[in-house]
Structure 1
Amino acid sequence: MPKNIIIWDLICYIAFPLAIWNFGRDIVGDYYAMLISSLPGIIYTIVRFYLTKAINFFGVFMISTLIVGTLIDVLAGSAIQLLWNNVYYAYALGLLTLFSIVIKKPIFLYFFLDFAVMQGYDRQESKKLFYRPKIYFVFCMITIAFAFRDLLLATIRVWFIKEYGVEAFDQGILVRQALGWTISGICVFGYLKIIKLIKEYTKPSTLAEQ
């Protein structure tokens, strides 16, 4: 799956949801079409979770947000309320992400820490390294980018809902994925920067100076 992740993202997060929404709404109604259209993404996320075997902070965070997101959709009761619930949820996630920086536990740092442990590195030593000023700053910047994505998505959805009503659903799918890919690009850049800094910090000469 990793080699074809963009294709699978397109299929499960965009193609299937849009197809179900556009062809199913006349049959089951707007609200149920929205609920059903989320199933491919949910199933795909669970499969990715299983394949990475991420039973750690990253895995718990991913599954928790998936469960909460599904619950607020199911409990919405109507199509327009479902859209507004997604707005509130995106704002909440964005603020939670920013709060993780305030308490000096940037979410992206802990994601990266999980991946380092999965590669065989010691958690405590890696954590100590990640909190070095320059590396920690990059983690904070990437975490802010994640928060900005959620806050911007929520704001755009507000405009879509006020402008188009329930017709904003398919635009929301496209904007969400576009922002997701943009943030992924930022994460890749941040990852490369972090790797470079780690190499600098772990040079024998650097260690001797410290």
Structure 2
Amino acid sequence: MKKLILFDLIFYMTLPFLLWNYAREPFGDYYAMLLSTVPGLIYTIYRFYRERQFNIAGLFIIFSLILGTTVSVLSGNAERLLWNQVYLGYGYAVIYGLSVLFRKPFALYFAVDFMYLQGYPRKDSTILFSSKGIFVWYQLLTILICIRGIFQSSLKAWLLNIYGVDGYGQMLVYMQVSGWVFGGLITGGYFLIGFIVKSYVRKHYGEDVSTNPPIGVNE
């Protein structure tokens, strides 16, 4: 976990911050900002390959990378790029909210993907996690992920209004710290649900099951 936090700090905050500061003068704000996103993009792709994410989680990560990169390249200038990131963040929050509304919480399917990597059939995990007393927790966890998206997008919009493009370096720091806070809450939520699932299985089936929750969700 400590190593993961260190790598997040390096690739999502330190390197982007340095690239932003030292590339602004020779390349201008817009291209410096695009360049600053490269370490995080490469690191995310590496994490995706290393952790072997599949199905819903994997598709969502790939979709987010493609859409985010496309929007960044087509933005045209630094300020528009940042505002487009804000709108994208709200868009993802809407998607999470709709998944709760239609009773298809993304948090549940992320957990199913993780259990599949542990050798459990997707169908069995989906049925178990959809059981009464468990399903509602995945709904609540998805709502938390939705709140994270709304909060971080609102924070970025507020910082952009106050500091403008010149405050991008500060924005990186605030966004990373808030990301860690919500990441800790979401991870804790998965651990809590893991204990609930274990208790449910013991109570109804008299068996134990490995339900260690997945660490990290799109970041």
Q: TM-score range by the shorter chain?
A: over 0.9
Please say if residues 93 and 150 of structure 1, whose CA atoms lie closer than 8 Å, have aligned partners that are also in contact: yes
How many angstroms apart in 1 are the aligned matches of 2:134 and 2:171?
34
Gaps of 5+ in 1: none
Q: CA deviation at 1:163?
A: 1.3
Q: What is the TM-score with the length of structure 2 in the denominator?
A: 0.89
The structure where helix makes up a greater share of residues is 1
How many angstroms apart in 2 are the aligned matches of 1:131 and 1:17?
40
Does residue 99 (structure 1) correspond to residue 76 (structure 2)? The answer is: no
Percent identity over paired residues:
38
Q: CA deviation at 1:168?
A: 3.0
Other structure's SS at 2:133 match? helix
How many angstroms apart in 1 are the aligned matches of 2:168 and 2:132?
42
In the TM superposition, 1:54-69 aligns within 5 A as 54-69=53-68
Give the aligned partner of residue 211 of structure 2: none
Please say if residues 153 and 175 of structure 1, whose CA atoms lie closer than 8 Å, have aligned partners that are also in contact: no
What is the root-mean-square deviation in Å for CA atoms of aligned residues? 1.4
Q: CA deviation at 1:179?
A: 2.1
Instruction: Report runs of 4+ in structure 1 exceeding 3 Å deviation.
Output: none
Give the aligned partner of residue 86 of structure 1: 85
How many angstroms apart in 2 are the aligned matches of 1:3 and 1:51?
17
Give the aligned partner of residue 206 of structure 1: 204
Q: Map Cα deviations across residues 141-160 of structure 1 (whole Å, 9 max, x no partner).
A: 21111111111111112221
How many angstroms apart in 2 are the aligned matches of 1:187 and 1:148?
11
Give the aligned partner of residue 194 of structure 1: 193
Residues paired across the two proteins, number: 206
How many angstroms apart in 1 are the aligned matches of 2:181 and 2:71?
26
Give the aligned partner of residue 176 of structure 2: 177
Please say if residues 156 and 175 of structure 2, whose CA atoms lie closer than 8 Å, have aligned partners that are also in contact: no
Shifted more, 191-200 versus 60-69: the winner is 191-200
Q: CA deviation at 1:3?
A: 6.1
Q: Map Cα deviations across residues 60-102 of structure 1 (whole Å, 9 max, x no partner).
A: 1111101111111110001111111011111111111111101
